[in-house]
Structure 1
Amino acid sequence: MTTANVVVHPDGSTVRIDIAGEVDLENAETVEEQLSAAIPNETTSVTLGLGGLQYLDSAGLRVLFALAARLEVLQIDLAVDVPPGSLTRRVLQLSGFAGVAALD
């Protein structure tokens, strides 16, 4: 069983969401639901912290692309905090995700 730990840090109109562990086909739907629930309507910006993410497959990428698309429609800024040189950062770069959200 794969596990992902989603921790939400609201701060006024901004939200930081840290995701650790693994996001794959087995838990992607749960993670997607947690992300949606973590972002109230009054949010103006979201930062995803992916420093603790150890594994991300295509289902996990779909979750992140869906989140980016939803936030774009809602006009909510998205930034992704992912360590330089990490495998997660490389996956995001290769998938083209860096074109839809800033990788910090």
Structure 2
Amino acid sequence: MTDATVAVRSDGSDVRIRIGGEVDLENAGDVEDQLAAAIPNETSAVTLELAELEYLDSAGLRVLFALAARLEVLQIELRVDVPPGSHTRRVLQLSGFESLASLEA
């Protein structure tokens, strides 16, 4: 079994979500549910912190694309903090995710 952690911090209308561990086919549904529950409609911005994310497969990538699409419909800004040179950053760049959210260091 793979483990993923999702930790949520709210600061007024901004929400910061730290995702760690591994997000793959086995746990992507659970991670997606946790992300949906973490973002109330009155949120103005969401920041994903991915420094602790060690592995992201296509199912995990689908979760992030679905989140970005949901936030776009709700007109909620999405920011992604991901370390330069990390595996996760490379996967996001290759997938075209940068067209949905800027990747910050």
Q: TM-score range by the shorter chain?
A: over 0.9
- Partners in 2 of 1:41 and 1:95 — Cα distance? 27
Identity of aligned residues (%): 75
Unpaired segments ≥5 residues, structure 1 = none
Give the alignment's TM-score, normalised by structure 1: 0.99
The residue correspondences of 1:1-104 to structure 2 (distance < 5 A) are 1-104=1-104
**Structure 2: gaps (5+ residues):** none
Q: CA deviation at 1:30?
A: 0.2
Alpha-carbon distance between aligned partners in 2 of 1:78 and 1:16, rounded to the nearest angstrom? 10
State the Cα distance separating 1:50 from its structure 2 match: 0.2
Q: How many residues align?
A: 104
RMSD: 0.3
